[in-house]
Amino acid sequence: MKNTNHSLFDKYEMIKDLGTGSSGSVTLVRHISMDQERALKKVPKASAFAESALSEARLLKSLEHPSIPRIFDFEEDDAFYYIVEEYIDGETLDSFLLHQQLISPGLFFNICEQLCNVFIYLHTQISTPIIYRDLKPEHIIVCHNKLKLIDFGVSAYVIQDGNNFNHYGNIEFSAPECFTEDTITPAADIYSLGQLLQYILTFTPDSFSHKFQHIIQKATTSDASLRYVTVAELYQEIQEIQKLTGQTHLIHKIAVLGSHRGCGSTHVAVSLTCELNILGYHGIYIDSAKSVLCHGNHDGLQIFKQKNGYYYYKSFQGIPDYSDGIQFNIPKDAIQIYDLGTDVCNEKIYDMDLVLYVCNGSFWHLNDIYRNHSILKKMTASLSVICNMCSRQDASAIAALLNCSVYHFPYDSDMFKSSVQKETLIQKLLELKGGASLSDTLKGYLRKSILHHS
């Protein structure tokens, strides 16, 4: 092996250790000529897990799907196998859900779509289906609002007799036949999907989760012959519920402006971006105010990861407001949130589907609040006012001053974390342009968060 203190095989620069387990160690490396970060697994040949690691690498090498890690390279020396694969910087699904505590229907449907899509892919391989067999939250990584299915160590191809491999699984999510001598088929993965969806539904409102119980029951019946025949059939029933719930929107560009510096407009813009992504929409923060966020700082910490011009952190995705001379393709389905700072005369306002005017109850800024609101009313008919960092009494005073309805943005210590109050605000703002109707639960929260001038 060609190895120095800082490089491997004259191709990879070692950056830092990511962890060590029973099967070996994982190191973050950089491909020197490609300038790309990758994960390098170092597996001892004498390890009991060496054959499993090789099998997983061979399997992943044959697959190409956005929810499956890519294998880039393989090396070996006398003592170790070296497997170079895609570096996935995220958190496990269980950690993500515990961090959110309560997720929206939109995010649930987004997760369902990605999970079902990858299993449809695995089960419909041209040569022979692949059974994953070990699905659980710890084997799903949430990375920039995308899911990655990891740990294919016990996955297997279905061969003609259907049962020519060892039985593996986990007690909580694996099908009963994984622990018996019964034949294992793709129905085992359908059982695991049902159990996983049941787990995810515990993080949704009860009024929502009960709609899926007939799907869960059919997917997780102990008799494999009575389950859904394919994952596509299961997903079709989920889509039927999604159609009834409603997930469409007509807003694509949102401007967020502050009445004065320090009113929290950037905080609101970032919060809205994160909440949109958590709700299952695609929100992109665009830093037109040259805030410190998209330059990598938050409370003095370097927290943002940068890739292909985007800045990422948890459910946040953002870009600087590139000049007209720089071509930057933004997905057509994305909702763009422009942070315009306090520039109420910015010409971009004319192109916005919705303009959010952020103010607070500071007495010494009342003139600014009134004057800038008057300017914006002449520039756009899609203007909504958000009162931030103030009491409900102060928000009522702002509503009286401006003679309009005011949305009360809840006290928010973590702009990257979801909350029911922020979710209701997002849902209502989208509804103004033809978005989904609100559930009775969300309407109850909303009545407490919107203040009307009377």
Per the annotation, where are the binding residues for ATP? 41
- CA dihedral (46, 52, 57, 59) in degrees, to 10, reads 150
Q: In the 8-state DSSP scheme, what is residue 85?
A: E
Binding-site residues sit at 41
Q: What is the DSSP letter of 353?
A: S
Strand pairing report for 335-339 and 253-258: parallel
Q: Which residue in 198, 201, 194, 202 sits closest to 218, CA to CA?
A: 194
Structural contact between residues 389 and 262, judged by C-beta atoms closer than 8 angstroms: no
* H helix runs in 124-258, sequence order: 187-201, 206-209, 213-219, 231-245
**Token match 């391989």: residue?**
125
Kind plus residue range of the DSSP H or E element containing 156 = strand 156-157
**What b/e sequence results for 399-437 when a residue is b if at least 16 CB atoms lie within 10 Å of its CB, and e otherwise?**
beebebebbbbbebeebbbbbbbbbbbbbbbbbeeebbe
Mapped onto helix, strand or coil, the DSSP state of residue 202 is: coil
What residues does 8 pair with on adjacent strands? 3, 12
* C-alpha torsion 54→58→63→66, nearest 10: 30
Tokens standing for residue 51: 């054959």
Contact 337, 363 (CB under 8 A): no
Q: Is 170 exposed, middle or buried (0-12, 13-18, 19+ CB in 10 A)?
A: middle
Rg (CA), the chain: 25
Phi, psi of 382 (to 5 degrees): -110, 60
> How would DSSP label each residue in 87-154?
---SEEHHHHHHHHSS--HHHHHHHHHHHHHHHHHHHT-SS--EE-----GGGEEEETTEEEE---TT
Task: Give the span between the Cα atoms of 258 and 418, in whole angstroms.
Answer: 22
d(CA 408, CA 417): 18
